[in-house]
Amino acid sequence: MATVPLLLAGCDGPLSTLSPSGPVAQDIAWLWWAMLAGATLLALMVFVLVALSFGRPREVPEARWILGLGVWFSLGVLTLTLIAALWVGERILPHGTALEVHAHARQWSWSFTQPGADGPSETQGVLHIPAGQPVDVLITSSDVIHSFWVPQLGGKMDAIPGRVNRLRIEAARPGTYEGLCAEFCGLEHAAMRFEVIAHDPADWPPRAPEARP
Ligand SMILES: [Cu+2]
């Protein structure tokens, strides 16, 4: 338990689910904490039972220990975390209309199509979106299964050949966010990174999306 704060200190940074920068990622981070709390409660229960087993032999009231703790307490914690997961899962779905951009994965790079000042613009390794509004990324692949993931802006979504998957992301503030392929896809998988640049709504669509800042 004493090492938990130390370990959590390593959970910060541009590729962390625990540093959300938008409402979708915020919901996912909230669920992460809810599941950690549930797991902690169940682990504590087990530790307490193990500790008690080392003490002097005692009378074990069946109703309290087996039904109360083993069944009802565990079921209660699992039910609450399941409800939290279903609630968050529903909230992060792409409800209603949103700006659409396209992400195309291949071994081993990403290309994107998004609105530009002079019509749709295609970029390599950089996706441009407006800040402060929901964006739907339409994701596909031309070879193997990859996965689109920008931890600070939303969840993960597989990129599957012959299929287009929709993922809702949103950046609360303008900035640059790091993304990566989250499905092992071959030798260069680890290098399959990209960036998402969220622009101030006043500068949207961007004048020259091709130019990397
Ligand atoms: Cu990949």
Structural domain spans, the chain: 14-91, 99-203
Tell which CATH architecture fits domain 99-203.
Sandwich (2.60)
pLDDT digits (tens, 9 = 90+) for 75-88: 999 999 999 999 99
In contact, 153 and 24? CB cutoff 8 Å: yes
Give the C-alpha separation, 1 to 12, whole Å. 19
Question: Residue 49 above 90 pLDDT?
Answer: no
Q: What is the mean pLDDT of residues 171-177?
A: 96
Segment (H or E) for 112: strand 109-116
How far does the centroid of ligand 1 lie from the alpha carbon of residue 139, in Å? 12
User: Which tokens go with 212?
Assistant: 């990397």
In contact, 104 and 141? CB cutoff 8 Å: yes
Give residues whose Cβ lies within 5 Å of ion ligand 1. 146, 181, 185, 192
How far does the centroid of ligand 1 lie from the alpha carbon of residue 176, in Å? 21
Q: Which strands sit side by side in the sheet containing 109-116, from one edge to the other?
A: 119-124, 109-116, 99-106, 135-141, 165-169
How far does the centroid of ligand 1 lie from the alpha carbon of residue 62, in Å? 53
In contact, 64 and 117? CB cutoff 8 Å: no
Question: Residue 213 above 70 pLDDT?
Answer: no
How far does the centroid of ligand 1 lie from the alpha carbon of residue 159, in Å? 8
Strands 109-116 and 119-124, by their bridges, are: antiparallel
Give the C-alpha separation, 92 to 13, whole Å. 22
Question: Residue 71 above 50 pLDDT?
Answer: yes
Q: What is the pLDDT of residue 101?
A: 97
Q: Which strands sit side by side in the sheet containing 126-130, from one edge to the other?
A: 126-130, 193-199, 175-181, 146-149, 156-159
Strands 175-181 and 119-124, by their bridges, are: unpaired
Q: What is the pLDDT of residue 180?
A: 97
Segment (H or E) for 1: none
pLDDT digits (tens, 9 = 90+) for 24-37: 999 999 999 999 99
Question: Residue 144 above 70 pLDDT?
Answer: yes
User: Which tokens go with 109?
Assistant: 């790079």
How far does the centroid of ligand 1 lie from the alpha carbon of residue 79, in Å? 35
pLDDT digits (tens, 9 = 90+) for 108-119: 999 999 999 888
Backbone angles phi, psi at 150, to 5 degrees: -125, 95
Give the C-alpha separation, 178 to 156, whole Å. 13
Strands 156-159 and 99-106, by their bridges, are: unpaired
User: Which tokens go with 188?
Assistant: 């260069």
Q: What is the pLDDT of residue 27?
A: 96
Confidence grade of residue 209 (pLDDT, cut at 50, 70, 90): very low
Highest mean pLDDT among 43-52, 173-182, 204-213: 173-182
pLDDT digits (tens, 9 = 90+) for 153-172: 999 999 999 999 999 999 99
Q: What is the pLDDT of residue 208?
A: 66
In contact, 98 and 135? CB cutoff 8 Å: yes
